Structure 1
Amino acid sequence: MRDEHFGVPIDQVQSIEKVTSFTKVPQAPDYVKGIVELRGEVTTVVDLRHLLEIGETEDSSETRILIVQVEGLKMGLLVDEAKEVIDVNDDSVEDPPQMVGGVEKEYIMGVSKQDDRLLILVHLHKVLDVEQIEEMKEAVQA
């Protein structure tokens, strides 16, 4: 996302997809961009920047959808780009400061120095609280 580098646990990521057009969901929360059909399944797509309260993801040729599984719900996270899979050694992860990259500490699992950049590790279970997940489950089932 922009100049910040964010990461999510690979065990929660099922795939990385190019952005296709979304179908808007009436009366959905602001963070829901819409739904898409991927491999025969309808998937809700949410804007990770919006959830982290650092703006909106802008559409570009680099924009991607991370298909993730959180609390038993499969969903898409709209991100600026998805560059690589990095093996982060637990020893390299430090506690986050109060705010990093404009993101509140509660959403961050930790930070890790990777070569010449700081990788911010996102805690998806905190970013999407149980209430939001239930709202999305209901919207998908409706």
Structure 2
Amino acid sequence: MIILNVAGRVMGIKVGGVSDVITLREGQIQPEPELGSVIDTEYITGLGAVDERMLIWIDIEKSMSSSGLGLIKQSIQ
């Protein structure tokens, strides 16, 4: 179970497994890549590197409130 705070709500998401929990320093996170139309990078906010592993930083709040997933409804003020 991963606990998230999304759109002011605390929720748990059941996952199949977690291999590691790591902390990245600011210098280890690079801006999102410019891949053009090859890959949809709408939810990617950056890339990170730890040892020889490449990590993808995802905007979980944006992806969960997308029209395709629609798990969180944003309130319009």
Matched, 1:111 2:66: no
Q: Pick from 53, 75, 96 the counterpart of residue 32 of structure 2.
A: 96
Give the TM-score, by structure 2 length. 0.67
Return closer, same or farther for 1:130/1:96 CA change in 2, 3 Å cut-off.
closer
Q: For structure 2, which runs of at least 5 residues remain unmatched after alignment?
A: none
User: Superposed, which structure 2 residues align to 1:1-142 within 5 Å?
Assistant: 65-97=1-33, 98=35, 104-129=40-65, 132=70, 133-134=72-73
1:88-129 CA deviation, whole Å, 9 max, x = no partner? 011111122238xxx731211211111111011111121122
Q: Which has the higher strand share?
A: 1
- In 1: Cα distance, 2:20 partner to 2:31 partner: 23
**Relative contact order, higher structure (CA 8 A, sep 6+):** 1
What number of residue pairs does the alignment pair up?
Answer: 68
State the identity as a percent. 28
Structural RMSD (CA): 2.6
Calculate the TM-score normalised by the size of structure 1: 0.40
Contiguous gaps of at least 5 residues in structure 1: 1-64, 136-142
Closer, same or farther: CA 79–96 of 1 in aligned 2, 3 Å = farther
Letter in 1 for 2:73: E
Structure holding more helix per residue:
1
Show CA shifts across 1:57-103 (max 9, x none): xxxxxxxx21211011222223342122211011111122238xxx7
Measured in 2, the distance between the counterparts of 1:114 and 1:77 equals: 25
Q: Which residue of 2 aligns with 1:3?
A: none
